[in-house]
Amino acid sequence: MMKKGICKLCGQQKKLLKQSHIYPSFIYKGVFDHTNRTLLASLKDNRGPRFYQTGFYDKNVLCEHCDNVIIGRLERYAASVLPPPTTNAHTNVVAQLENDQLTTLHITGMDYKQLKLFVLSLLWRAHHSSNEFFQKVHIPTHEPILRKMIMEDDPGAETVYEMAIVRIDRANGEIVDMIPTPEVGEGWKLEVALFIVGGLIFSVALKEDSGFKLFPDFSLKSSNQIRIPRLNGGAARSFLTALGIPDNYANYYTGSNTDSF
């Protein structure tokens, strides 16, 4: 029986779902094993790994409408275009080989509003999660702003919560299947939220003109375009270690034990 309470998104007293996903399963489907379980471990501390049958979820956070309709619509769109270079009837992907460790994906037709709100919803959900995996995500100043943007279907201007995506590949060209513990807080030196889900690194600026190196060249544009770096080898390893991933994990996932930049 569903419990009644205040939905975190719409703010209304409603019946709340027993299971609302924080990260949708499609985005880390490669992490599931043959029993449909996923082994998710913190890569930055000594906590032991845990099996999750259906990934990360919370209970009594969202009502059915907010979960299935508002968030669900964003997830359905994201599932049709992620991970790149997925192409559908509305998008076009042109891959430009920069060197043997970097390919730039030039994508047009990417729905700015839906993709941006989807990524912002991941950050918003992680903030509200009581799951210990997300205990280091805490953005109380931004939460009401993100909530309003999601509820009003308003992604804002390009420079408001500016967003970029990086793809990390294994040596065989398959996308990396890792989900490290996200760490996002306010007042940190780097005012950019960075979190990795199934080989995609999402970057969201928590202030305008953050100076982050991916912005503005690789930012999602309101003209429905985005340039996505696709990294492998030493370049991929460099990016992961810069995000605090320990050397042994970076070596394992990228097949490289040296950085290239």
**More confident site: 228 or 182:** 228
Please tell me the distance from the alpha carbon of residue 257 to that of residue 134, in angstroms, as a whole number: 29
Q: Give mean pLDDT, residues 78-93.
A: 88
Strand ranges (DSSP E) for 139-199?
A: 163-168, 184-185, 192-197
Q: 165: closest CA among 126, 209, 122?
A: 122
Q: Yes or no: say if 176 and 209 are a contact pair by the CB < 8 Å rule.
A: no
| pLDDT for 33 | 45
DSSP state of 138: E
Name the pLDDT band for 44 (thresholds 50, 70, 90). Answer: low
Nearby residues of 184 by Cβ (< 8 Å), 6 or more positions away: 123, 126, 127, 136, 137, 138, 139, 193, 194, 195
Per-residue pLDDT of 235-259, as tens digits, reads 999 998 888 888 888 888 899 988 7
| pLDDT for 37 | 44
| pLDDT for 31 | 54
Name the pLDDT band for 38 (thresholds 50, 70, 90). Answer: very low
**More confident site: 22 or 117:** 117
Name the pLDDT band for 30 (thresholds 50, 70, 90). Answer: low
**Lowest-confidence segment of 123-127, 213-217, 239-243, 244-248 by average pLDDT:** 244-248
* Tokens 């703010």 found at: 11
Q: Yes or no: say if 220 and 112 are a contact pair by the CB < 8 Å rule.
A: yes
Per-residue pLDDT of 53-82, as tens digits, reads 445 778 889 999 999 999 999 999 999 999
| pLDDT for 165 | 97
Relative orientation angle of helices 112-128 and 143-151, to the nearest 10 degrees? 140
